[in-house]
């Protein structure tokens, strides 16, 4: 075991603070990574504060990780010391089920192992995430990262990027499709960028007039205020797809009528309470409401390569690790454009 520096939450209502964790010695198939940057995801806050339930303390969040390889096991063939790599939302799966065999490890039928607050495949060890100086991950779950792009801006692609890229690919969003994005935050700004890069006609749906300029700069073709009843009425039957990225409580029924016949509303945010859906909004237009959870390792690598080719990164604000509690509050207040990223050099 190697003891490394980290930041952890010890209880739901206690601020994150310095903590020492043990990382395993790299096994034959393992890659040891010195973490350079780690994005701050809304899921980190939900977990640290036990808002979804099931948090096992102490918890070390962080699943948007970019770093450099420091050691590799004897059987590792994909990576070598010095390589720039990434780690996303999960670090293992059973490898045997149909979903794993189909490169859908995120839907592992036996339970994939998330990067933090998750049971390892040994069913004993609990994982610690990227708010730490190092991490050890089996090579299959490590991703190649291009040095063409600023690495701090690449880190959020490991969650926000793949969370939006995966459903765009799965539902075959293409040039000419009309796409609406609800919520301009960490997920929403990536949905706008990637959908626009695929040739879709993108409309930003927001409650905040101040978001219009930003939406246009990110690539949105149109902007609509959801607080204006006449505007919403005029958008009825307009969109092939709606990407809902909002994690706060809101009413899905406000948006479903905006879908065309056979339109699909894709849920990416996770509100803290259940939502009612009026059946007629679905039946009346053969509309669908669906969900999507990140992507498998193969698709995540595809996304990273795509973003490197297209020059797509996240808009970030850099912080030191001792600013993490302030960053959580600012995230909740939507006071960031659009993702905090921790410079992990500040941990040492």
Name the DSSP class of 44.
Answer: H
Return the beta strands (E) in 155-293 as ranges: 178-182, 201-206, 222-225, 239-244, 259-267, 288-291
Mean pLDDT along residues 252-274: 94
Domain count across the chain: 2
When pLDDT is averaged across residues 261-277 and rounded to a whole number, the result is 92
Same domain, 187 and 318: no
Residues 13 and 138 reside in one and the same domain: yes
- Which CA distances in Å does 114 have to 119, 276, 332? 8, 29, 23
User: What confidence score (pLDDT) does residue 1 get?
Assistant: 63
Let me know: does 241 contact 179? Beta carbons within 8 Å: yes
Give mean pLDDT, residues 100-122.
96
The CATH code of the domain that includes 262 is 3.40.50.720
pLDDT at 348 over 80: no
Mean residue pLDDT of the chain comes to 96
Q: What percent of the chain has pLDDT over 70?
A: 100
Residue-wise pLDDT for 217-259, tens only, equals 999 999 999 999 999 999 999 999 999 999 888 999 999 999 9
pLDDT value at residue 92: 97
Answer whether residue 297 is part of any domain: no
For residues 80 and 228, state if they share a domain: no
* Site of tokens 């056979």: 262
Give the pTM: 0.95
2-8 and 17-23: which strand pairing? antiparallel
Give the H or E element holding residue 334: none
Q: How far apart are CA 210 and CA 292, in angstroms?
A: 29
Do residues 146 and 56 both lie within one domain? yes
Distances, alpha carbon 302 to alpha carbons 145, 255, 288, in Å: 11, 31, 27
CA dist 224 to 31, 111, 170, 240, 303, Å?
A: 46, 40, 26, 16, 28
Q: pLDDT tens digit string along 272-319?
A: 788 899 999 999 999 999 999 999 999 999 999 999 999 999 999 999
Range of the domain at 57: 2-158+314-347
Judge whether 298 lies within some domain: no
Please check whether residues 188 and 215 belong to one and the same domain.
Answer: yes
Q: Are residues 47 and 180 in the same domain?
A: no
Question: Over the stretch 27-63, which tens digit does the pLDDT of each residue have?
Answer: 999 999 999 999 999 999 999 999 889 999 999 999 9
């Amino acid at each position: 075991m190697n003891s490394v520096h980290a930041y952890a939450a010890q209880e739901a209502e206690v601020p994150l603070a310095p903590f020492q964790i043990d990382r395993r010695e790299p096994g034959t198939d393992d890659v040891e990574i010195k973490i350079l940057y780690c994005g701050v995801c809304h899921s980190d806050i939900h977990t640290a504060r036990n808002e979804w339930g099931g948090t096992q303390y102490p918890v070390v969040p962080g699943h948007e990780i970019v770093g450099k390889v420091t050691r590799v096991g004897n059987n590792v063939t994909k990576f070598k010391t010095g390589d720039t790599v990434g780690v996303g939302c999960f670090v293992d799966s059973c490898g045997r089920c149909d979903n794993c065999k189909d490169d859908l490890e995120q839907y592992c039928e036996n339970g994939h192992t998330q990067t933090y607050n998750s049971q390892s495949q040994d069913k004993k060890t609990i994982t610690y995430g990227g708010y730490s100086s190092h991490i050890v991950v089996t090579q299959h779950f490590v991703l190649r990262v291009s040095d063409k792009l600023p690495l701090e801006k690449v880190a959020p692609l490991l969650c926000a990027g793949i969370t939006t890229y995966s459903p765009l690919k799965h539902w075959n969003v293409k040039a000419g499709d009309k796409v609406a994005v609800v919520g301009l935050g960490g997920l929403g700004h990536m949905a706008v960028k990637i959908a626009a890069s695929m040739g879709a006609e993108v409309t930003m749906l927001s409650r905040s007039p101040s978001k219009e300029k930003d939406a246009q700069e990110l690539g949105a073709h149109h902007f609509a205020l959801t607080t204006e009843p006449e505007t919403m009425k005029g958008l009825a039957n307009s969109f092939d797809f709606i990407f809902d990225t909002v994690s706060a409580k809101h009413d899905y029924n406000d948006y479903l009528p905006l879908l065309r016949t056979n339109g699909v509303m894709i849920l990416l945010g996770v509100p803290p309470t259940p939502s009612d859906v009026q059946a007629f909004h679905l039946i009346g237009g053969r509309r669908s409401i669906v969900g999507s959870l990140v992507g498998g390792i193969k698709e995540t690598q595809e996304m990273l390569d795509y973003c490197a080719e297209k020059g797509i990164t996240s808009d970030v604000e850099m912080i030191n690790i001792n600013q993490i509690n302030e960053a959580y509050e600012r995230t909740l207040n939507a006071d960031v454009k659009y993702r905090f990223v921790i410079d992990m050099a500040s941990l040492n």
